[in-house]
Chain A
Amino acid sequence: MDYIVGYTADERGRDAVSLAVALARRQDAKLQLVMVMPEHSPFNAVYPPERGFESILSAQLQEWLAEGLAMIPDDVTARAHVISADSQAGGLIDAAVDSGASLIIIGASSRGLRKRFNVGSVAGTLLHASPVPVALAPQGYRRLDPITRLTCAVGTRAGADEVIAVAVDSAARRKLPLRLVSLVALDPSSGADGADAAAVEAAHDHANTRLAEAAASLAAGGQVSVEVVRGSTVEEAIGALAWDEGEILLVGSSRLAQHSRLFLGVTANKILRALTVPMVVVPRSYRSDDIQSRQPERSVTKRSDAGEGRDVQPTEVSQ
């Protein structure tokens, strides 16, 4: 199993490498440190023309990759390569598709003035376009020890099954305790007035039933807990939960993508800021069995399926 690590020679890159190591341990996953070399379009019409910048840049990327590899402990297998693409997100997706990797790991935070924008651009693009799950390392993540618990946030709409399936499978494979959480605050109906209170309650009960069913389907020997969290904001709901240090949060992208594209980055940012533990976003229509038996020709089909699934998001809200 391969994980793609979107490496950059800054704090964010270090966050990503740390999370990658934490995720790879216990999994025997192989890490691929990927740096994206920007492709320059000849139509940018740079003048006076030159042809040597790429070799200077390439040497610099090799140096940075060597630094990145040096951060990875001996018990984790890793290799590094440079991929040429017109965008950071595009390069990482190419790398994941080409190598049949099952996860893309990036650092989602950045410091200073550009804070928001960067989470919005690279992470945002990946969350909308990646055919495989995307793991976002929070700012300053330096934990290298294996993950200790999985939390899966699920709702009641279509798409919840996929996330639960991935979470159940993942927890079973890693022999980790699984916590299923219903964040009721995230449902559009929860913001309504008293007249909808009954509907909220019904949704609540429904969520509990679904969670219980999912829990029952988990392979014997696993630990499952169920929590329902209410809150008027994302931060409030997340803040109401207790988190283990080595925990990761699993969410489905459909849950976030009900918002507009630009808003997704902000939501991810909010969750990350409130969260302090890593978040893995699973694309809609992503099946957990793909993780274990991915065939190259199927991965292409899968990618377009996932794309269609995301495009029809708005129709789901009305269900």
Chain B
Amino acid sequence: MSTTQDSPTGLSKKGLSSGSVGLLGAVVIGVSCIAPAYTLTAALGPTVAEVGVQLPAIFLVGFIPMLLVALGYRELNNAMPDAGTSFTWATRAFGPWVGWMGGWGLIAATVIVLSNLAAVAVDFFYLMLAQLTGNESLADLTLNLPLNIATTLVFVALACWVSYRGMETTKAVQYVLVGFQLLVLGWFAIAAFAHVANGTAFDATAISPDWFNPFAVESFSAFAAGVSLSIFVYWGWDVTLTMNEETKDPERTPGRAATLTVLVIVVIYLTVALATLSYAGVGDGEFGAGNVDNQGSIFAVLAGPVMGPFAILMSLTVLSSSAASLQSTFVSPARTLLAMGHYRALPASYGKISPTYKSPSYATVAAAVAASGFYVVTRIVSENALYDTITALGMMICFYYGITAMACVWYFRAVAFSNARNILLKFLAPLLGGVILLVMFVKTATDSMDPDYGSGSSIAGVGLVFILGTGVILLGAVLMVVMYRVNPAFFKGDTLRKGSAPAHVER
């Protein structure tokens, strides 16, 4: 038989992915990953609940740990490109046990955000139906528990199916989605300020310099909770930093795009935060940002009174951006699960790839099942599922990002002090960022045991957010031990060995 086979390097590399993204494109990708319309509607309320009028201050401060950790993430991504990301890096740095939990944290965070994205999309789906038909009772359908759960599961299933088939959001669609989001958020802010100026605001509140002072936050608990939430609001920004060969100018585009993206985001966040506070105040009145019923999804409540008949645009932009995020977010936990299956840290079936669509088949479906399960449980036991989910999500991001940052410090320990760049990017920044996040994680976890924490849901006298957050982590620990019993190869270091960056390699 005269058969030949090209080597793995024979893969023809051409087309779409390399050198196709310019500065604007990279900013669009960055903004799209952050999904500001979705993020604000989901996180603005819970953050106000924690820090009140110091919302702008927390949004500014919250960027710092994100930046510090993202720098470390980029170093790891360059040194060890791998589908498992945090899982692989933490395993390499700290061994299989910490690595497994790091991977679990990443999967849990993405699975939680999937369930929240779907739920927010469903809220705005019914709201938009109501706005389209002029029949306001349709918006209340989302409060019907069985219908809400059923619709959310349909959204999750659809996104899973699209992701499984390897369908992707195209460049043009992404530009439109991002442009539309920024436009509508700007519109919302201007309309809110106009109401304030005309004296038609719900609870006109004068902007004060104190709003920008993070030290004015009443307690460290509130500060920690606020920061862990604002980690979530910037979650996605670091995608710009990790871009490389897909950009037209790998030397400069990622750095510039990261800077420009954060400027765009900070401007839009601060504008919308100030507009919301000025218009609605932090009281617990009908439209007040301090009203716990409004905090789960602030735009669902405020877009109507602020934007009038154009509120449907807000519904459309939140719905479209969360649907797009839902689809793209499915890729991530699926790939981490795939990598864990590949390294035998999970059963080998998680490593399966669909012959037809070449996507992680088993892992994608597993992520959908997990997201659905998480949503159903949260929805049933919580009085305000969106609110509590976001708080638990903030905790989970602090957990896995903290581990990732520490993995960076430890993995590069031999080269950390070889030059000024390494001291800053491989040691100081990730160390500081990691410590901040882990402290926030521990503080939030401890505080959340209080039954009044978050939306005030609790089980047996323990806060629901604590149960959700630590429950998910404990579940991971249990599964890890089970996996160790079933197939200890990974835990013995057979598939992925502990190690560190060799000292002689200078980067």
Residues of A within 8 A of B (CB): 8-10, 13, 36-53, 55-62, 64-66, 69, 72-74, 77-86, 110, 118
Contact = CB atoms under 8 A, between A and B. Distances in A.
B1 A74 contact: yes
Given A61-B358, A74-B1, A80-B4, 18 more contacts: A10-B355, A38-B359, A41-B168, A42-B29, A43-B28, A43-B169, A44-B331, A45-B33, A46-B331, A47-B329, A49-B242, A53-B338, A56-B338, A56-B351, A78-B3, A82-B10, A82-B11, A86-B16
Interface in B211-245: 235-236, 238-239, 242-243
A48 B33 CA distance: 9
A84 B14 contact: yes
A80 B6 contact: yes
Nearest to A114: B356
Interface of B: 1-6, 8, 10-17, 20-21, 25, 28-29, 32-33, 77, 81-86, 88, 106, 110, 166, 168-171, 174, 235-236, 238-239, 242-243, 246, 324-325, 328-329, 331-332, 335-336, 338-339, 342, 351, 353, 355-360
B239 A39 contact: no
A77 B5 CA distance: 12
A36 B360 CA distance: 15
Contact of B353 (A44, A60, A66, A86): A60
Contacts of B171: 41, 43
B5 A47 contact: no
22 contacts: A10-B356, A41-B171, A43-B29, A44-B174, A47-B332, A48-B110, A48-B239, A51-B82, A51-B242, A52-B85, A53-B338, A53-B339, A56-B339, A58-B8, A58-B11, A61-B358, A62-B8, A72-B3, A81-B6, A81-B12, A82-B6, A83-B12
A79 B6 CA distance: 8
Contacts of A37: 11, 358
Contact of A69 (B5, B13, B342, B355): B5
A43 B13 CA distance: 18
A212 B238 CA distance: 71
Nearest to A45: B32
Contact of A46 (B15, B16, B328, B342): B328
Given A13-B355, A47-B33, A39 B16 contact: yes
A41 B355 contact: no
A164 to B, nearest CB: 35
Contact of A51 (B10, B28, B77, B328): B77
B236 A47 contact: yes
Contacts of A79: 3-6
A40 B168 contact: yes
A61 B10 CA distance: 12
Contacts of B169: 41, 43-45
Contacts of A50: 77, 81-85, 332, 335-336
Given A38-B166, A65-B5, A69-B5, A45 B358 contact: no
B83 A53 contact: yes
B15 to A, nearest CB: 5
Contacts of A8: 355-356
Nearest to B174: A43
Given A48-B106, A56-B338, A39 B15 contact: yes
B17 A40 contact: yes
A216 B239 CA distance: 67
B17 A66 contact: no
Contact of B170 (A41, A83, A84): A41
A64 to B, nearest CB: 7
B3 A45 contact: no
A103 B215 CA distance: 72
Contacts of B353: 56-57, 60
B342 A56 contact: yes
A17 to B, nearest CB: 12
Residue among B3, B13, B83 facing the most chain A CB atoms (10 A cut-off): B3
The 8 closest A-B pairs by CB, nearest first: A51-B81, A52-B82, A52-B83, A44-B168, A9-B355, A43-B171, A53-B83, A74-B1
